[in-house]
Amino acid sequence: MDKTSDYQQKASNGVEDYLTDEIQELLSTLPREKNFDGSYLYQYQGFWYYLVESSHICNCSSFSLCIGTQSLTTNPHELVPFIDKPAYYLKINQSPTTSTFGTHIPYSSLPHSIVDSNCLIVYMCRNPLDQFISHWHFLLKIAQDRKMEPLSLEEAFESVSNGIQGFGPFWEHVLGYWKASLENPNKILFLTYEDVIENTLFYIKKLAEFLGCPFSDVEEKLGVIEEISKLCSFENMKDLEVNKTGKLQPDRGPKNSYYFRKGKVGDWTNYLTSAMSESLKILMDEKFTGSGLTFKMS
């Protein structure tokens, strides 16, 4: 069995020993810090990464244009598999018709096969305060399931202020895709969650045009855009039975319900003190100065 086939077999079986001696040796040299849920993050190429388990699926901020009955019976993370998760490695290779994938990889770390190809990239991010609170709640639930000692809100806040969080620093991750989208707007569509929530119909139309599948006049008159908006709304997705029960992998991983909490813009005000929010706002202002990128906080 060649190395690729061996890796595929181990990933598909959920075996963690796909980590080679070379990777294990590399891990031993990398800086590490505790994540919000008490597990460890490793710093590589300037970003903080989870030690990927074959079952590990992290919160992904992405807007998927889901049409058809599959979106009513299948969790979004199954419809849009991750290119960087071992659990999906074999599945992707066995599904040549799959053309939409997700990833948390920073732009600077994307392989040349993506950056230099004709594939289109849609990047979605939230304002840093809501993103922090959402991520913290998500990992708290995972910590409870795994009986781990999570970081307190104050400890997690200190970590994120120092750029230590999964796939962080936040500002480096966002700026990487933001700058790339300015340089190549025909390849990268940069969206913010707040803008999409505020003007959903406009951005559904914009997304369709970006993907080269614009709506026809007839489709617009028939209310197709409005129907897609209802189908993909947070409220509808959260209320689907598939997203209220079960897991992507029955014996492991986060529950499907963990991916749907509130989805409200400005929910951070219910958790952060004035001093904490002001501190993070000042930090983000410093990091994003001159970039032209701003966020709606509420």
Q: What pLDDT was estimated at residue 91?
A: 55
As a whole number of angstroms, the distance between CA 2 and CA 165 comes to 35
The domain of 131 spans 24-198+233-288
Catalytically active residues are 104
Q: Is residue 11 part of a domain?
A: no
Q: What pLDDT was estimated at residue 142?
A: 87
Q: Is residue 3 part of a domain?
A: no
Q: Is residue 156 part of a domain?
A: yes
- Alpha helices per DSSP H over the chain: 3-13, 21-29, 70-73, 76-79, 86-93, 112-115, 128-146, 153-161, 170-183, 193-198, 200-210, 217-221, 224-231, 234-239, 241-244, 274-288
Digitized pLDDT (tens) for each residue of the chain, 298 residues in all = 444 444 344 444 443 444 567 778 888 899 999 888 888 888 988 988 877 553 333 333 333 334 455 666 777 777 777 776 655 555 555 555 557 888 899 999 998 988 999 999 999 999 999 999 999 999 999 898 888 999 999 999 999 999 999 999 999 999 999 999 999 999 999 999 999 999 999 999 999 999 999 999 999 999 999 999 999 899 998 998 888 887 776 666 788 888 899 999 999 999 999 999 999 999 999 999 999 999 999 8
Q: Is residue 254 part of a domain?
A: yes
Q: Is residue 189 part of a domain?
A: yes
The CATH number of whichever domain residue 99 belongs to comes to 3.40.50.300
Q: What pLDDT was estimated at residue 57?
A: 30
Structural domains counted in the chain = 1
Q: Is residue 226 part of a domain?
A: no
Q: For tokens 């190549």, name the residue.
A: 184
Q: Is residue 68 part of a domain?
A: yes
The two structure tokens encoding residue 93: 């290779």
